[in-house]
Amino acid sequence: MAGGFVQYHEPSIVQILVIISFFLFLSLAEWISAKIIRAGIIGHIAVGIIYGRPLADILDIEWQQTFITLGRSRRTHRPAQAELHTEYAGRCDGRGLSDWAFVLTALSGVWVWGCRDVYYWGCAVGYFAWYRLLSFPSGLLASKTVDLGQTRVGSVLVSAAVIDDVVGLVMSSVISDLGELSSGNHHVNLGWLIGRPIVASLGMSIVTPLVTKYVFAPLFRRYIENHFARYDHISNIVLMALVLCAFIAIAAYTGTSILFGAFLAGTFLTYIPSKHPESPFVVMSREEGEREEHKSPTFVHTFERYLVDVQKYLMEPLFFASIGFAIPFVQLWTGRRIWRGVVFTLLMVFAKFVVGMWVPLWQAVFRSKSDEPRRPPRATQDARRQRDEEVEAASGTETLNEKPANEGRVTTWLSGLLLGSAMVARGEIGLLIIEIGYNETSYVSQEGFITGVWAILLNTIIGPVSVGLLVKFYGKRIGDGEWGLQPQEAQPPAGSVA
């Protein structure tokens, strides 16, 4: 009751050792699984399974519930962070292809899973691909010679993810709301139950850009922006916290997903600063924003300095470990459930992998006017040539990057292969959605739930391994091809932005 206090008792040595070992094994398991199968989250999930109720039940139930809450709070940071880091100019390249990739992803996911536990499995598998890039392993798209995250196919992948995330977030809200229908409440209007998250999401997605552009952005740029240079990171982080809380509260009370609200919060913060060269937020580096009196670090700089480490080394491991707490590990190991999981894994891989066919199809239908391959700027070519010579002298693994006669066609298919493989990636949110359907509704059977867990976990391993092998052996050829590196605009010198 209010006015009381929590009595302090010294933790026992066993409790202290358990907590220390839990976080130690989280780090070690992530490193080992990232090295072996290029999917670090499998290590986190495995530690959660061992320390949680599914196996040894070493952690107290109160601790498990606390870690679940901390881990879930990480989900509100991820969409906002991804939106803050997204370059809108990069999204425009291949926008049409991204739209079609999204449509095919949705249709293929629903087709594979629609025949069984229709709605929940379809949504879980669809969202499994849609959320892939928000937590894709950093550096997985980087080879020795080129960062494929900066390529044309990489831009298509990111752009499609942004579109897909919005739809997936709405679906998660609909699934959660359907729990009221399965609880026996016959006074619930099914149409409004399903339509409310959709209407709320559409309303927020329409109103937010308009209000941001015509109301908040002008007010911020005229009356507030110049004062941010006085307090730098302090003013940034206060505004970020207020905006995030406001948007997730609006999203929750209007009936849509709080993750969608976090996504819009990132969009809001990305747009409101002025892009004029004399603006406080236009800086070449974080150090310039901190050093110059009339300049301020950007919101991305503040996030990277104060929040990224907490999210990476605390929130993220706890989030994936909390998923392990909720996996029925012992119940997975029966012959019938294993073969069902393998079969649906293959169906899921096909449904996601087929999305890559849009790259060669797009290339065939909308060929560029010039038949010459895309070439990056001369400076980029010279730097890449020197880097290639050093790599080839040190290692022989890049021999697969030698160009055959039909280079253009081969690199196009390799780019499609990369796009399809990236779709078969990480499924932590798919697991959460299918758990919502199983725990909060009566529409997902135990057999369906376990089969879905098997399929998503296996795809979590297959996807990163496939992408890693493609990047390792064919990364340079993809980067040099039609869907490779995009010409970079010349950056102004540091003195011109003072």
Residue-level pLDDT at 397: 46
Letter string b/e over residues 261-270, b meaning 16 or more CB atoms within 10 A of that residue's CB: bbbbbbbbbb
> Given 1.20.140.10, 3.90.1150.10, 3.30.230.10, 1.20.1530.20, which CATH number is that of 13-367+374-484?
1.20.1530.20
- The end-to-end CA distance of the chain, in Å, is 56
Residue-level pLDDT at 20: 95
Residue-level pLDDT at 339: 93
Distance CA 40, CA 27 (A): 9
Distance CA 157, CA 141 (A): 11
Residue-level pLDDT at 467: 82
Structure tokens at 342: 């393998």
Nearest to 450 by CA among 323, 321, 339, 341: 341
Distance CA 88, CA 487 (A): 16
Q: Are 76 and 248 in contact (CB under 8 A)?
A: yes
Q: Where are the domains of the chain?
A: 13-367+374-484
Q: Are 253 and 203 in contact (CB under 8 A)?
A: no
Q: Are 239 and 245 in contact (CB under 8 A)?
A: no
Residue-level pLDDT at 29: 94
Distance CA 17, CA 29 (A): 18
Distance CA 431, CA 131 (A): 11
Residue-level pLDDT at 163: 63
Residue-level pLDDT at 227: 81
Look up residue 331 and give its DSSP letter. G
- Summarised one tens digit per residue, pLDDT across range 67-121 is 988 887 776 666 666 666 555 444 444 555 555 555 555 555 444 444 434 334 4
Distance CA 455, CA 297 (A): 43
CB atoms closer than 10 angstroms to residue 315:
20
Element (H, E) at 44: helix 40-51
Residue-level pLDDT at 285: 83
Residue-level pLDDT at 261: 86
In which residue ranges of the chain is pLDDT below 50?
88-93, 109-139, 369-374, 379, 396-399, 489-498
Element (H, E) at 409: helix 407-423
Alpha helices by DSSP H, 212-315: 217-219, 228-231, 233-254, 258-271, 286-291, 299-306, 308-310
Contacts of 25 (CB under 8 A, 6+ apart): 47, 50, 51
Q: Are 215 and 275 in contact (CB under 8 A)?
A: no
Q: What is the pTM of this model?
A: 0.74
Length of the chain: 498
- Summarised one tens digit per residue, pLDDT across range 10-22 is 889 999 999 999 9
